[in-house]
Chain A
Amino acid sequence: MKIDYALLNQYVYEGKASKVKEMVQSAIDAGNPVAEILEEGLIAGMSVLGEDFKHNIRYVPEVLIAARAMKAGQLLLKPLLTSADIQAKKKGVIVIGTVKGDLHDIGKNLVTMMAEGAGFEVYDIGIDKSDNDFVEAALKYNADIVGMSALLTTTMPYMKTVVERFKEEKLDHIKIVIGGAPINSQYAEEIKADGFGPDAASSVNLFESLISAKAS
């Protein structure tokens, strides 16, 4: 059966979870390749939304319901993905968290949703995380990238502690990306982070370019 991926993309974009589930199930039942449903049906829809979010065409509530719809589809696909599928689709591994003293997480959660939506394997270690927590998780999951978030000017200096800790541990191969309301690229440079993500969709672009720079 020919699946109308454009329509599925639209349902993801509009956050229509039950429609997404329905279409993904019929695509599976019709024997379409699981990786194809994921890529062309779900990820493609989410990436359009990401761009629109970046340009203030769509906003946080729409991203949240789209991520929820996408997840509903992914849950059906997950048990069917073969290890070859997983290897093929894996863009890179990201460990992400909010730094110590800071309990704010909606920005981090949006980045997580968008990065997962783009095909990254993301480990969200949560809020109020120490340099130890970041290092341990990065080693445990064999991370390519570590993402740190802070909302407060009073907690943002902790990012520097984490960057320095990664240098001390000689984990230079792991790229560190930071974001959050008070952060800018100047601050990222100052603390020697590898990049700054001004919003969720731009952060995903940044992850992609860091991974391809690493590969080359």
Chain B
Amino acid sequence: MIKLTPKQRTMMAMDKKEVDRPPVFVTLTPQAAKKLSDHLKVPYEEPLDSMLSTRISHMDLLTKLGNDCVGIAGCAPKNSPTRVLKDNILINEWGMKFVDVGIYFEFHEYPLASATSVEDIENYPWPDPFAEGRFDAAQKAIDKYGDRYAIVADLETAFFETAWYMVGMEKLLMALALEEEYAFALLDKIMKINTKIGMKLIEMGADIIWAGDDFGTQRGMMVSPDMWREIFKPRIKWMFEQFRSVNPDIKIAWHSCGSILPIIGDFAEIGLDILNPIQPLAEGMTPEYLKENHGHELCFFGGIDIQHLMPHGTVEEIKAEVKRRIDILGEKGGYIIAPAHNIQDDTSVENILAFYDAVKNYKK
């Protein structure tokens, strides 16, 4: 067999062609990246300034370890980098304030927490999708890795999540249930900004666009399937159409944590190619069910548990689970194997290396 490049391996797998082994796309929190960099004695790469930082940072390290994909995204522009205000409080270009708690930047203040009207949304100083410097890091990554690696343009937090980052989660969920107009104006405003960013990343040469918003919880949908179909499905369909207007062959992935069984078929219907992260411990999201019921219409990306297996499992358990997942989800292609979210500091170097080892040495 001719040796495949990581890009060929990824794109063949996403065309449901059999490959030597499934492609890999691991992402890390900065603490996990630091630990691995020290272990491998390579320089630690500082995270990039983006809401999607963990998905696009540490790419030298990750390609060295065996990633087949490289993440890119829109970053904070030159005139509006994320700034430290005081006492570990940061503010980004959207006006969201975060507090640095060591492991993550958590929400501290929602800029539109008191919004009640469409005017409040219209009058807000929104980010310019084409602000200078937005795509510099993405271009650098494409120049460096684009020939050899699959370029995955990240657009998670596409509009629902970014909307609640602006007003607060409970406020947005209530506003949607009460059908308040400002909530829909907010969703549309953000959707248009992020769609433009996604379209630009596709134009620049992304192979896969990885959009997303979390609609699931550990035990089921966060919003009702009816509400999702009424509010979110048409908007996501519109986004997908815009992406395909730039490149009809773009592969589209969607990320939603949690258990989202009732809407997976809807996603396939509106043109989704790849479902991520198929969170293993979320209710009902088993590889057997997903492959059997949706394997004909979707590829899968993710599937390795980070809530228990990666942090607490043994090397043997990780190897066995990697094999089981590839056997089921990778049958006849259609699978990018990855942890179901960023690997965090609670996972040992030994377990991370065991994961890569198991994928690279996979045998049926």
A residues near B, CB below 8 A?
15, 56, 58-62, 64-65, 68, 101, 103-104, 106, 109, 128, 152-155, 181-182, 198-199
Contact = CB atoms under 8 A, between A and B. Distances in A.
Question: Most chain-A CB neighbours within 10 Å: which of B104, B107, B221?
Answer: B104
Given A106-B170, A182-B307, A59 B221 contact: yes
B170 A103 contact: no
Contact of B173 (A60, A128, A155): A60
A106 B174 contact: no
B218 A60 contact: no
B227 A59 contact: yes
B73 to A, nearest CB: 23
B1 interface: no
Given A59-B222, A154-B345, A65 B177 contact: yes
A56 B177 contact: no
Contacts of A153: 306-308, 311, 344, 346
A62 B344 contact: no
A60 B228 CA distance: 12
Given A15-B177, A199-B219, A128 B101 contact: yes
Nearest to A180: B218
Contacts of A62: 177, 224
A103 B101 contact: yes
Nearest to A107: B217
Prevailing SS type, chain B contact patch: loop
A152 to B, nearest CB: 7
A58 B227 CA distance: 11
Contact of B220 (A56, A109, A152): A56
Contacts of A59: 220-224, 227
Interface string B150-182: 000000000000000000011001101110000
B308 A182 contact: yes
Contacts, number: 67
A198 B79 CA distance: 46
B277 to A, nearest CB: 14
Given A106-B170, A154-B345, A61 B177 contact: yes
B257 to A, nearest CB: 9
Contacts of B219: 56, 198-199
B308 A60 contact: no
A61 B176 contact: yes
B174 A61 contact: yes
Given A56-B221, A60-B222, A101-B102, A109 B170 contact: yes
B2 interface: no
Given A56-B221, A153-B346, A61 B227 contact: yes
A64 B220 contact: no
Given A56-B220, A199-B219, A15 B178 contact: yes
Contacts of B218: 181
A65 B227 CA distance: 15
B1 to A, nearest CB: 39
B99 interface: yes
Given A59-B227, A198-B219, A64 B174 contact: yes
Interface string B96-112: 00010111101100000
Given A59-B223, A103-B99, A181-B217, A154 B174 contact: no
